[in-house]
């Protein structure tokens, strides 16, 4: 039976320090509670949550441990009354994708912490599984909607890609008509020449039609897993952005095994990941005005894993933001209309839907995005 009062299952001891406390004091409390976080209080009112990640980021900036903890807390405080139900706590944990909720009493004073693990443990195995299944379904639906939102957020860029893809064939098609008109005016148009130009025009129209098909397929979601050729869908993403890369003199090199690599998964979403990474590489190469800009896509099989690496020569990612790249709504292109969803969704697709791993690192030349997938 689910208890109605959260206060009775809350954790309290060693979960808080004063907001003016030092980083060292906060670390000591984290070590004592073993939860990797601590609540910062101002006159017993919860004002922030400091996590181990915040500490690591602070130390990465060579901060002295005697510094105050409050400025380095990044987690938003989500609090509810201690008299509320377990169901409400569960809904909040799932809705905000967090693992702790702060409890307050009727005076809005800190009265404890509800931890995800404690909540699940209390609810019991049967209730836990039932609730997790329900929340999992909701989470998957939200993630699916976010993926579609991410695609829609790139519609403007897509129109730009189509414009680049069509500009050259349209120009050539116009040239075909002008050529036919000129030849006709001079009385030199014969049947063989006419048929040759008609064939050339039809090939250009077919190319433009295939371009639209590539874009249409990109926006068709995959609800069910299927077996697909990995390199075919890498090429599909490249086809969408190829003209834009050519227009900006960005060379793209593809390194693949001689034998095709087949995966069981979501091909449209996989292409979306490749396109998101290519788009980011393209933008930074243009922004930094790199001489001889290039992007290399390499796929290979390593034992029971498939590795895809996308490398550029743009100089790498700033160390201060590299750990934030996959966070939701984080973008270095906000002023240019960036949604901050692209890389977050990419990580979601690879790690949750495909059970793989997506990571980023720097080389001497630039950034390396690595995708690791299981063959089976």
Percent of the chain with pLDDT over 90: 18
Q: Which long-range contacts (CB under 8 A, 24 or more apart) does 351-354 make?
A: 352/143, 353/143, 353/265, 353/266, 353/269, 354/265, 354/266, 354/269, 354/270
pLDDT at 127: 46
pLDDT at 361: 94
pLDDT at 216: 64
Range with lowest mean pLDDT among 30-34, 197-201, 214-218, 240-244: 214-218
Model confidence at 206, pLDDT cuts 50, 70, 90, reads confident
Q: How many CA atoms lie within 13 A of 41 on its CB side?
A: 18
Task: Please answer whether residues 262 and 229 qualify as being in contact, where contact means their C-beta atoms are separated by less than 8 angstroms.
Answer: yes
In order of 179, 183, 352, the CA distances from 196 in angstroms are 12, 13, 52
| Cα 215 to Cα 158: distance, rounded to the nearest angstrom | 8
Q: How many CB atoms lie within 10 A of CB 100?
A: 23
Q: What tokens were used for 313?
A: 């020569």
Query: Helix and strand tally (H, E) in the chain?
Result: 10, 13
Q: Which CATH architecture has domain 221-376?
A: 2-Layer Sandwich (3.30)
* Domain positions in the chain: 6-123, 154-219, 221-376
Please give the residue that has the higher pLDDT: either 171 or 357.
Answer: 357
| Cα 45 to Cα 39: distance, rounded to the nearest angstrom | 10
For every residue of 307-358, DSSP letters joined together read EEEEEE-S----TTTGGGTTSTT--S-GGGT--S-HHHHHHHIIIIISS-EE
Q: For 6-123, which CATH class?
A: alpha beta
| Cα 329 to Cα 17: distance, rounded to the nearest angstrom | 30
């Amino acid at each position: 039976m689910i208890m109605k009062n959260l206060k009775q299952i809350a954790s309290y001891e060693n979960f808080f320090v004063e907001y003016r406390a030092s980083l060292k004091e906060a670390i000591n409390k984290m070590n004592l509670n073993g939860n990797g976080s601590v609540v910062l209080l101002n006159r017993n009112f919860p004002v922030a949550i400091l996590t181990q990640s915040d500490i690591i980021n602070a130390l990465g900036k060579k901060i002295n441990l005697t510094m105050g903890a409050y400025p380095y807390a990044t987690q938003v405080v989500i609090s509810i009354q201690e008299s509320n139900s377990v169901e409400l706590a569960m809904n909040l944990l799932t809705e905000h994708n967090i693992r702790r909720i702060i409890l307050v009493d009727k005076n809005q004073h800190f009265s404890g912490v509800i931890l995800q693990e404690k909540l699940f443990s209390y609810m019991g195995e049967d209730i836990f599984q039932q609730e997790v299944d329900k929340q999992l379904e909701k989470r998957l639906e939200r993630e699916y909607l976010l993926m579609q939102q991410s695609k829609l957020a790139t519609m403007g860029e897509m129109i730009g890609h189509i414009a680049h893809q069509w500009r050259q064939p349209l120009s050539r098609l116009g040239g075909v008509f002008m050529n036919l008109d000129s030849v006709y005016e001079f009385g030199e148009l014969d049947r063989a020449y006419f048929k040759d130009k008609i064939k050339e025009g039809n090939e250009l129209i077919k190319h433009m039609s295939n371009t639209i098909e590539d874009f249409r397929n990109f926006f068709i979601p995959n609800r069910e897993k299927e077996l697909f050729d990995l390199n075919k869908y890498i090429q599909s993403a490249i086809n969408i952005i190829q003209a834009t890369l050519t227009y900006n003199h960005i060379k793209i090199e593809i390194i693949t095994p001689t034998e095709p690599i087949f995966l069981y998964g979501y091909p449209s979403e996989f292409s979306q990941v490749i396109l998101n990474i290519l788009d980011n590489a393209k933008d930074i190469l243009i922004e930094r005005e790199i001489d001889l800009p290039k992007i290399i896509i390499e796929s290979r099989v390593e034992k029971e894993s498939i590795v895809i690496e996308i490398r550029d020569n743009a100089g790498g990612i700033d160390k201060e933001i590299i750990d934030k790249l996959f966070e939701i709504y984080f973008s270095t292109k906000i002023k240019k209309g960036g949604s901050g969803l692209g890389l977050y969704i990419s990580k979601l697709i690879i790690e949750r839907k495909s059970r793989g791993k997506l990571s980023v690192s720097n080389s001497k030349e630039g950034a390396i995005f690595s995708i690791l997938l299981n063959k089976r």
